[in-house]
Structure 1
């Protein structure tokens, strides 16, 4: 387990999530903008067409049937605009970002498994993990004390011999 790998995988995961969100949001925003603009233009154009069609149809049919025909035409035009504006985004960018996202998740899961096995090994056998941490300083202290005792033994001998 390496904390640098975890940070690297988390950074990749964050970036790919951001890219995926951007890829999905861009067409939605463009589609929404196009729908709003189309609705605005259609409203003005439709108003003029309806007015002229109404005056033309009133001469042929009654006012009620002319208004009903124009209302149905408005619904048909609105349905076509929403179908065109609501197409789902398709592209290689989204597939690639989703694939990288999946690999980052798998790598994070692998790191988490390694951390879990290391932790369970430490819990089940605490001396195995604590022994190297305690043993190295203990050996250093023993070596230093042996060096001091060897250095003090000849000095003690030298002071004891002149008597």
Structure 2
């Protein structure tokens, strides 16, 4: 029973490691997305002003504003793509392996326990059948139990007298 509890603890710890790894990646993704949003806002504020004044002389005010906005959107899109591509490391695979092996061990032990219960059940059914037959006719069981040793003694005594 101790090994079952130990295995369940291992599975529980592996699940916690998996959850921690996933939460860590989710936090990094959220942080990257928030940072991308912050850069987007600053980009729209500062770069737009600077870019607008730089391009207004060359392209005119309308096309200068459009060029600055497109550059800001491209930078934000690149940061969003980078944030979405973050994945968990090898520790998640190791935690999954530990969890899976622990679950396999628990399944094997559960099958052993189930086999023991099936065996116990068949023994109880046999005991019940014997008790039912004994309760219906107790002399049959007693005669069978006593008759075998008596016949054995009788045969031995007869064979010893002949010799």
Call closer, same or farther: CA 1:124–1:31 in 2, change over 3 Å.
same
Q: How many residues were matched structurally?
A: 128
The SS at the match of 1:122 is helix
Structure 2 unaligned residues grouped into runs of 5+: 129-163
Q: Could you tell me which of 97, 110, 113 is aligned with 2:111?
A: 113
TM-score by length of 1: 0.66
Structure 1 unaligned residues grouped into runs of 5+: 131-163
Cα RMSD (Å) of the superposition?
2.4
Q: 2:59 & 2:23 partners in 1: Cα distance?
A: 48
8 Å CA contact retained: 2:21, 2:88: no
Q: 1:14 & 1:69 partners in 2: Cα distance?
A: 54
Q: Could you tell me which of 33, 36, 43 is aligned with 1:35?
A: 33
Q: 1:126 & 1:25 partners in 2: Cα distance?
A: 51
8 Å CA contact retained: 2:40, 2:72: no
Structure 1 segments of 4 or more deviating over 4 A? 127-130
TM-score by length of 2: 0.66
